[in-house]
Amino acid sequence: MHKRLADYLRHLSGPARSAHGNQHLGRLLAFTAGAINAGGFLIVKQYTSHMSGMVSSVADNLVIGEVGLALLACSAVAAFTGGAIMSSVLINIGRQAQARSLYALPMLVEAALICAFGLLTADMVRGPLLGASALVGLLCFVMGCQNAIITKISKAEIRTTHVTGLVTDIGIELGRWLYFSAAGAPADGVREDRDKLLLLSSLLGSFMLGALLGAVGFKLAGGIAALLPAAMLALAAVVPMADDLGWYLRRK
């Protein structure tokens, strides 16, 4: 692999973090979340990247007596939580072991799960092999896994699987920027607000682009379109994983 590309991928998902690396990784993960959320909807008829609707559906279905649907929504929330737990455990184990792949490993697991989703929903195996509720749970697990990765990496400054917080923060930053610009605030303060606004807008744009391309891809190719975001995540994780493998082989 070309050294410049390897250095970039190491910067993207390696243990040494920077604001620049976090932002680039955040955009990649936001793109992935948009693609899987919008594209997956065409397969399972359910958005899976945010839990607000899932929790609300638990209450709605209980009130109208649809206990089975309420339990399915509960299982989706549990799956999302399970994905977050898995990422947190893997990252903490990696940190304890001083692994270079402490963030790359859960990303690779996420890529494998997205790949599994794509293959399971391909025309050749669609039908009785795996029900829609199980696929919803799988996607929720993936999104919980991803949200925990970027939350841990960025110390909760960047989230990628839902846009409610992004849109809220964009509104807050626009208000701050307009107010302090009009009030003649110091240039550094205005510049900081502007930079944060640009970051939030780029995350929202990445999610929207991923959603658009994901919807088109899933409509044209079915679940097999999930292999593209899976490949992107695997590529982003491959260099830190190779670094750890090389270190292990040298020790032997």
Tokens 């989706």 locate to 76
pTM of the model: 0.87
Closest CA to 36 of 117, 112, 106: 117
| Residue-level pLDDT at 191 | 65
Report the alpha-carbon distance of residue 106 to residue 234 in Å, rounded. 10
| Residue-level pLDDT at 122 | 62
| Residue-level pLDDT at 231 | 95
| Residue-level pLDDT at 88 | 94
| Residue-level pLDDT at 126 | 47
Buried b (16+ CB within 10 A) or exposed e, 158-168: bbbbbbeebee
Residue 127 inside a domain? The answer is: yes
| Residue-level pLDDT at 195 | 81
Report the alpha-carbon distance of residue 18 to residue 21 in Å, rounded. 5
Range of the domain at 162: 15-241
**Number of domains into which the chain is organized:** 1
- Written as one letter, the residue type at 32 is T
| Residues of the chain under the 70 pLDDT cut | 1, 122-131, 184-192, 252
Find the distance separating the first CA and the last CA of the chain, reported in whole Å.
Answer: 24
Residue 33 inside a domain? The answer is: yes
Which region, left, alpha or beta, applies to residue 76 given φ > 0 means left and ψ of -120 to 50 means alpha?
alpha
| Residue-level pLDDT at 31 | 94
Q: What is the CATH number of the domain that holds 133?
A: 1.20.1250
| Residue-level pLDDT at 194 | 76
| Residue-level pLDDT at 101 | 92
Residue 82 inside a domain? The answer is: yes
Q: What angle do CA 11, 104, 94 make, to 5 degrees?
A: 110
Task: Give φ, ψ of 87 to 5 degrees.
Answer: -60, -45
| Residue-level pLDDT at 213 | 93
Judge contact between 100 and 244, C-beta under 8 A. yes
Residue 2 inside a domain? The answer is: no
- Written as one letter, the residue type at 176 is R
Residue 134 inside a domain? The answer is: yes
Residue 3 inside a domain? The answer is: no
CA 9, 11, 13, 15 dihedral sign is positive
For residue range 177-188, list pLDDT tens digits in order: 777 777 765 555
| Residue-level pLDDT at 3 | 80
CA distances from 5 to 1, 44, 157, 170 (A): 7, 36, 26, 32
Residue 86 inside a domain? The answer is: yes
Residue 114 inside a domain? The answer is: yes
